Structure formats: structure tokens, C-alpha cells
Structure 1
Amino acid sequence: MSRKSYSIAVVGAGAVGLSAALAFARDGFETVLIGRLDTRRDGRTVALLNGSIRFLEALGVWPSLIPEAAPLQTMRIVDDTGSLFRPPPVSFSAREIDLDAFGWNIENATLVEELAESARAYENLTILTEQATDFRAEADRAVIVLADGSEVEVNLVVAADGRNSRLRQIAGIETQTWSYPQTALAVLLAHDREHRETSTEFHTRNGPFTLVPLPGKRSSLVWVTSQKRAEQLSKLDDQALALAVERQAQSHLGAMRVDGPRGLVPMSGLSVNRYGAPRLALVGEAAHVFPPIGAQGLNLGFRDVASLRDAVVDALDNGREPGSSETLRQYQLSRDLDVRLRTAAIDGLNRTLLTGLLPADLARGAGLLALSRIGFLRRAVMREGVLPHMGAPRLMQDASA
């Protein structure tokens, strides 16, 4: 049985796993990326917030992504719930917090393709397309068994293998899961009017209906609605679906045309009771799953990677191993509160839309009204949404860190 040795192994070749492999290879760690790429196009995009853009700049990937992405300069929220207490539309401008854009929107598959292209050219980075089938922690190393029977020996394993993470299960890390009576329809659209780099989110009684800019007169749509309605919409032909979208959007962007694939995304959540085990750290959807609301999922995954990278670099500076218990403890402390707060915020927003109870409508409406009228509060919320003020990972503050 063959066995190869590296410093760090990343299991999972999605956007989070690829970024983790690049981050550690960038810092000179002998890194191996284990897993197969999945670049199927399913209508999904990701709004990369400012902190994630800085992270991708540090990895040297961002310049190649710019032509495929659209800036998000304004975010607009419209209450379309039919509630008795309906606040006026609220707009948030990135210029208020001295940014050109809150972030940039790009297709998921394009992001993965560009990260993979960079990974192939990186020094200190080996790519293995075999699947990991087993994992065990030993006294000073960890061993990963691959599908072909070969083994990889490393100091630290980074589990980026998704919501059904096999490594998380093997390590015995407990999860909490929940679901919502909703499904999200994701689809790419072309439209007659300019979006003016504005993301528009309609709060409906069945969930958010969100149009996010893409280059040109194009946008991505995430339409959160009942499971039955989402399935009905997904079966419509392109012309009928475009008309349904235009009506739901109140003709905000004029006539619509379906301009790419479509897909259904389950509305569910997952959290873990700890972010690691001996020689193992969880990142991305192996650690937390969010419904596609508020652009938090992948941005939090990138923040996981950048925080774990800080913990590993700090360990090396202090004479410790990358996979030491102190390294994993520092990583746990850096992620726990951030993820819990954002989980609660997204869950709370979605549930208030679903309840239809007047107190919930009043609370949500009052909150939006306060944000529209109180400048310092609005700016504080915008800054926190783009990148937490406290404890931001170094690569999300300064590309040279």
C-alpha cells in the first residue's frame, strides 16, 4: 500500500476546498487537494462580499474573475408581504461606508473553474482526484485512505467535503439540522432595463424573491417560495417562467428572458457542536449550511478558511504544529460566535416572513424603517454585513498578511 506525506490535506474540491488549498500552498505548506471538481451549471450564483474579494485578491485569483462578475453597489429591499404594516422600500449604498461595491456577483461554476485553474499552477499544491473513503488521527499525524487503496499522511486535515461530510461523520462530530417548508428556484435571466448595479430583494409571504446583477442586462434570481410552487415554476417552459418572474418582480427590470440553466435548492440548515476533532478542521458546508438568503453561505466558508489559515500560521510562529490541539482551539474560538449570530439572523428573517403574525410583521417593518431613517445604525449594519469589524481574518483585511 502506497503512502505519501504532506503537511496539510484539503478534502473537497468545491469553492471552499479549492480556496483552502490555495491559501495554505500560498504560505509554503506542502498541500494536497483531494476530490473531484463539479462545475455543472445550475443557475446558481454567489454574491462575494468585500471581505471575500480581499481574500481572493490575496490568493491571486480575483483579476481573472472580474470580467465575469458584476458589482453590487446598491441593495434595495421591498416589502411585498401584503402586511398591514408595510415600510417603504429601503436602499443601502456602498458609498455610505466608503466602498465602491458591497461585493460582486458571479456564477458558482465560473468561480470554481477559475479557482481550479489557479490551483493547477500553484507551487506546493498536489491535486488528487480520488475520493477520500476513510480518516484516522494518530499521535502526531492523520491518515486519509483513498478509494484506490492508497494513503495520504498529513499533519492537518481540512474537511471541505460538504453538508454530507464523510470526514465529519467518521470523526463523530454531532450536527443539528432543520428544514423550511420552502424551496428556492435559481435561474439566470436577461432583461430589457438596466439593473444599475442594484440588487433588489422583494420580501414576500413565502420568502425572499431576489434579483442580483450580472454583467450586462442580466441578473440571477433566487426565488424562495413554497415547495409546490417552486416545483410548478421549474416545470414551466422558458417563456412562461420569464413571464411569471416579470410579474413577481413588478416589471422592475422590464420584460424578462430565461438566459441560462435553472435549478432547485433545498431550504435547510445545519450546524455543528464543534468545528474540529483531533487533526481535523471543518470548513464551509461541512461546518454550517444556510438557506440561500442574505449571501452568507460561501462568504462564511471563505471566512472559515481565512480564520483557519491564521490559526495555522500563528501556530507555526509559536513553534506548534498546524494540526495541534491549540491550533484547532484557536480556530474554534474564531468561528463559533460569528457563525451562530449569522445563523440566527438568517433563520429569524425567514421565519418572520412565514409567520404572517402582526407582531412579527411590526418588528420586521420597524427594523427596516429604523435602518432607512437612522444613518449611523444603517452604516453599522452594512459594515457588519460586508465584513465583521471584530476578529476579521488577516487575509480579509490585507492581501499581504
Structure 2
Amino acid sequence: MASSHSREQFDIAIVGGGPSGRIAALALAQQGLSCVLIAPTLDQQDCRTTALWQKSIDLLRDIGVWPAIEGNAEALKKMRMIDSTGRLFRAPEVVFDCSELGLEEFGFNILNSELNVFLEKACAAQPSLEMIADTVETAEFGDEQAILFTSGGMIISTSLAVAADGRKSTLREAAGIKVKSWSYPQVAVVLNLEHRLPHQQISTEFHTSTGPFTLVPLPGRQSSLVCVETAEGAAKLLAMTDEELETELERRAHSILGSFKLASKPQSFPLAGLTATSLVGPRLALVGETAHVFPPIGAQGLNLSMRDIRDLTTIVAAARHSHADIGSRPLLSSYEKKRFSDIRSRTNAVDVLNRSLLTEFLPVQAVRSAGMYLTGKLGPLRRILMREGLAPGTAFQLHR
């Protein structure tokens, strides 16, 4: 690491220590460019998990980290959706099976803490990537360079800055990029469970009147849980003893996995949404939760971020091979144009699905139930939804 108050020059500076920042750093550093990742020390207390779909796994394979990760992840072969709202209009159970698409699995689920460890090791071993354990305090963006000032006194000059520093992004704010943000009357209670019965690699999502109650397989007889509740309901769950919470969660899961035992302490996160009004600024590109945030429904969050990274990397690689300026306005404009429709469609879809669970308006409940019924009965519709959920834009492509 360079000394305090030193100044260094890089082709690309990536800011942010979550999975998005580290994956972006690896992908960009492998294009033959000098890169620096500025990120604080890893938080090993995060018990949340991430479900990675096939396109995201393809990117992890491309950057050489998937073989190390795969042994700690659990395959997801079926996704089951159950209406547990107890309302007048209730949808029948729907099962999405990867074999309908000719796949071995939809994807894999892994603990965020383990994913981050693998990514950190890969970053440390990447020759063209320097890692600085620091945070960016402020930044200046000009026509020729972005200049980042770290809390430790370093000054980083770069042709392109990539902001992966989360929903409260310092880089986004320094660039003057506005956001549209909103909140939901919900809190996600997140924890991991051990259970008596095998999950059989089936992810189960109960739709309740307060939001999804989702069990996603982990290795062995363990699953991760995201229970979306009202603020009051979440507070009641968090106030329970371990034994009370285990019993209550088993009841809500209708004992489909038998008895529960907590495998991690519960955490809670208020649900909110955010979209940046622009994905780029002078010498700046936004990826991941710096650009978009929405509720944890359908495992869309990090998978959407991975598509940001893949598209940005593809555009930067093409610019490098043609000896073009990797931080030029035309290049960044092409990235923004490529990403906006995907981000907008995913954000809107998750928002509509979440709000449809909360509404007491009977016509909306009826439409939602009818949609679930048709999805369960019509194979072609079900396969379209599966393809579009895994990889946007592929729903109507021909498949064997």
C-alpha cells in the first residue's frame, strides 16, 4: 500500500467492498488494465445469503472464481410458490422446475460471508489489481480524470471510477447524481436455520399478507430465511427467545422442513427502494446498489448487479482493444443506455409483486391469483417466466 498523502494513477478505480465491488474489480482487472479496489475490511457478521442464477455463475466462471465457490454453495433445482395470505382470492401452489428448461439447476445459494472471503482471496491474487483497505471521503470528477481522496490521506487519479459503494454512495453524491427513493411498510427478518427434513434443493416462497416468507436451501440440512413483516411484527419476532422463534417459524412454514433450530442470530432490515436518475457521470459509472435497490424478492438484486458488471466490462474491453478512452462520455453513455431498461423492468416488477401482496383491494388480489393459476396450468407461460427471471431478454428465444 502506498504511504499516507501519496498520489497514485490507475486506469480504473473501483470503490466498494461488497460482492459487486469485488467482482467488478476482478472482471475489469482481467482486461489488461491497471485497477485499484478501495474498500474497507470485510464484515464477517453478515449472515445473509445470495442466490446466484446461471448468467451470474457464468461471469464468476469467466473471472476464475466459481470452482472455489461451488463447493460451499447449494444447488437450487425447484422453486415453489405458495399462497399463504388466507384471503378470499388465493392462488394455487406453483412449482418451477429447472428440468423444464433443460437445466441441471436454476442456480446456487451461498452465504454472503463465504462469497466475500472467496472474492477477497481472488482479488489479492490478481496481479493487475491493487487493494487499498480504506474508504473514499470525497471525489472530484473532471473531463480528463477522476480524483478520489481517501480517509487515510491517499489521492487516487483514474481514467474511470466505478461506484459500487452502496445505496449511500459517496461517489454518486460527489458527482451530483440524484436518486429516486421510496420505502415500504415492511421489515425483512433474516436468519439461517437447521431443519430436521431435507430441503431436496427446493426453494419455497410463501406469499403472506405482510410479504414473502422464503426458505432457500443451503448445504446440508440448512436453509436461509427471509421473513418480510410489518415493523411491529418484526419487532415481536426479534423479541422472542430462540425456542419461541424456532416454533413460530416452523408454524409459518407449515412444518414442510420439520422442526427448526436457529443456525444464526436474526438480523432485520427495513425495506426500501432506490434508483439513480443517471447511471453515469463524468469519468464515473454506477453498478450494483449504488444504482438500484429493491426488496429481496425473486433473488434479483445481486444478479441484476452482475449484469451491470458484465455489460460495463464488455464495453470497457472493447474500448481498450480499439485504443479508445475507457472513461469517455460516449462510452459511458453506451453503458447507461444498455442498462436502463433492464434495471427499470426489474425494479418495477419487484415493486408490483411486493405491493400486490400488501393490498386489500380485491380486484388486485383476484388478478394476482389468476396470474398464479395460469402460470401453474400453462407450461409455455411458466417457461417464459422462468427464462425471463433467470436471464432477461431470453424468454422468447428458441430452445430445444
The bucket for the TM-score relative to the shorter chain is over 0.9
* Structure 1 position 80 matched with structure 2 position 76: no
- Shift in Å, 1:166: 0.7
Q: Secondary structure at the match of 2:147?
A: strand
Distance (Å, rounded) in 2 between the aligned partners of 1:249 and 1:311: 45
Distance (Å, rounded) in 1 between the aligned partners of 2:35 and 2:312: 14
Distance (Å, rounded) in 2 between the aligned partners of 1:326 and 1:317: 16
Distance (Å, rounded) in 2 between the aligned partners of 1:304 and 1:92: 26
Distance (Å, rounded) in 2 between the aligned partners of 1:166 and 1:142: 13
Most deviating of 4-13 and 41-50: 41-50
TM-score (norm 2): 0.96
Most deviating of 282-291 and 318-327: 318-327
Distance (Å, rounded) in 2 between the aligned partners of 1:128 and 1:300: 26
Most deviating of 224-233 and 133-142: 133-142
Tell me the alpha carbon deviations over residues 229-283 of structure 1, each in whole angstroms, 9 at most, x when there is no partner: 1111112221111101000001111111101232101210000111010000011
Equivalence for 2:127: 123
Code of the aligned partner of 1:73:
K
* Structure 1 position 274 matched with structure 2 position 278: yes
* Structure 1 position 346 matched with structure 2 position 347: no
- Shift in Å, 1:45: 0.6
TM-score (norm 1): 0.95
Equivalence for 1:381: 385
Distance (Å, rounded) in 2 between the aligned partners of 1:279 and 1:243: 53
- Shift in Å, 1:186: 0.4
Structure 1 stretches of 4+ with a deviation exceeding 6 A read: none
2:146 to 119, 142, 145: 142
Code of the aligned partner of 2:194:
A
Tell me the alpha carbon deviations over residues 92-111 of structure 1, each in whole angstroms, 9 at most, x when there is no partner: 00111111111111111111
- Shift in Å, 1:388: 1.6
Distance (Å, rounded) in 1 between the aligned partners of 2:166 and 2:218: 26
- Structure 1's 390 and 329: CA in aligned 2 closer, same or farther, altered over 3 A? farther
- Shift in Å, 1:202: 0.3
Distance (Å, rounded) in 1 between the aligned partners of 2:7 and 2:81: 54
Distance (Å, rounded) in 2 between the aligned partners of 1:216 and 1:249: 19
Code of the aligned partner of 1:282:
L
- 5+ residue gaps in structure 2? 396-400
Q: How does 1:265-344 map to 2 (within 5 A)?
A: 265-344=269-348
- The share of aligned pairs that are identical, in percent, is 43
Distance (Å, rounded) in 2 between the aligned partners of 1:366 and 1:390: 24
Q: Secondary structure at the match of 1:6?
A: strand
Distance (Å, rounded) in 2 between the aligned partners of 1:390 and 1:323: 30
- Structure 1's 390 and 319: CA in aligned 2 closer, same or farther, altered over 3 A? farther
* Structure 1 position 224 matched with structure 2 position 264: no
Code of the aligned partner of 2:24:
A
Q: How does 1:18-97 map to 2 (within 5 A)?
A: 18-97=22-101
Q: Is the 8 A contact 2:148 2:157 kept in 1?
A: yes
Equivalence for 2:19: 15
Distance (Å, rounded) in 1 between the aligned partners of 2:143 and 2:272: 37
* Structure 1 position 234 matched with structure 2 position 255: no
Tell me the alpha carbon deviations over residues 337-366 of structure 1, each in whole angstroms, 9 at most, x when there is no partner: 001001111100111110122111111111
- Shift in Å, 1:39: 2.6
Distance (Å, rounded) in 2 between the aligned partners of 1:349 and 1:47: 19
Code of the aligned partner of 1:45:
T
- Shift in Å, 1:213: 0.3
Distance (Å, rounded) in 1 between the aligned partners of 2:150 and 2:341: 34
Distance (Å, rounded) in 2 between the aligned partners of 1:267 and 1:219: 21
Q: Secondary structure at the match of 1:250?
A: coil
Code of the aligned partner of 1:116:
E
- Shift in Å, 1:42: 3.4
- Shift in Å, 1:40: 2.7
Distance (Å, rounded) in 2 between the aligned partners of 1:117 and 1:86: 47
Code of the aligned partner of 1:215:
P
Q: How does 1:102-251 map to 2 (within 5 A)?
A: 102-251=106-255
Code of the aligned partner of 1:267:
L
Equivalence for 1:394: none
Superposition RMSD in Å: 1.3
Distance (Å, rounded) in 2 between the aligned partners of 1:85 and 1:266: 28
